[in-house]
Amino acid sequence: MEEFEFYNQEVLRLSGVLQRGTSGKMIIMCHGFRSNRSSKGRFDRFAGTFQRMGYNVMRFDFGGCGKSGNRPITLAGQVSDLSAAIKYVVDQGFKEIALYGHSLGARVCLEGFDPSYVKTLVVTGAGTGPVVYDWTDEFSAPQLEELKETGMITQPVMDPYRSEIKISEQMLRDFEECEQQHLLSKITCPTLVVHGDQGEEQTLMPLTQHGMRWLPEMSKLEVIRGAEHSFMNHLKEVEAITTSWLKSNF
């Protein structure tokens, strides 16, 4: 495993790791909201599996997360980071890329799709349309007061490289401000969307069911019964569905 740094368009330092495979194909993995490139161990596991299949795998921390440079979290910022990641691997000679994203990272993959190099998408727990959250369920009263006064929320995190992240007010709006047809109709490669049917997935999965009409014909929606948004108790199923898809489409 190789650790490296690269920079986005705003010259923010981003930290990544590369696991080399035996093919000329690259999988770039995008983590979720308030997470890092390990994704609570999920991405470590999946990256190892993908590498054993022969793929090269890049994981990285979005700006303001993990080991990367500090920045308030926004959707636009993370899309910029993904664009920089794609450019980095293309400059290394990789011209065939798959994007794998979970949760907010899935939305970033859809927003940052590059038809020149991306041959397939795999997204789990994706917000493929507008989602309105009750932020009083997610953040404390002092945090919401901080948001009102500063436009930011300071969120403590369990991370080996930082004790907190900064979440911008715009990031919270970004979840709601999603035009589904515009987002999905620009995707031109086969796309696998994996959902559960419990908890938050009861909101996200029907959104995707509605939106599948705008994805390419070869795209597929898989629903794992009993799975919640984290899929932590269903990693074996996610792994099996994903590896089967990659074998057929990448």
3-state class of 43 per DSSP? helix
The answer as to whether 122 is a domain residue is yes
The answer as to whether 20 is a domain residue is yes
Q: Which two tokens stand for residue 65?
A: 């997360």
Number of domains in the chain: 1
The answer as to whether 150 is a domain residue is no
CA 160/CA 126 separation, integer angstroms: 26
Give the pLDDT band of residue 229 (cuts 50, 70, 90): very high
The answer as to whether 97 is a domain residue is yes
109, 189 contact by CB (below 8 A): no
CATH classification of the domain holding 186: 3.40.50.1820
For the beta sheet containing 25-30, the strands, ordered from the edge strand earlier in sequence to the opposite edge, are 2-7, 13-19, 56-60, 25-30, 96-102, 118-124, 191-196, 220-224
- What is residue 34's predicted lDDT score, i.e. its pLDDT? 94
Of 88, 92, 81, 71, which is closest to residue 30 (Cα–Cα)?
Answer: 81
Q: Which residue has the tokens 């709006």?
A: 173
For strand 56-60 and strand 13-19, is the pairing parallel, antiparallel, or unpaired? antiparallel
The answer as to whether 50 is a domain residue is yes
Give the pLDDT band of residue 183 (cuts 50, 70, 90): very high
pTM for the whole thing?
0.97
The answer as to whether 171 is a domain residue is no
- What is residue 193's predicted lDDT score, i.e. its pLDDT? 99
Q: Which domain holds residue 70?
A: 2-130+179-249
The answer as to whether 139 is a domain residue is no
Compute the average pLDDT of residues 30-38: 97
Give the pLDDT band of residue 32 (cuts 50, 70, 90): very high
Compute the average pLDDT of residues 205-229: 98
The answer as to whether 154 is a domain residue is no
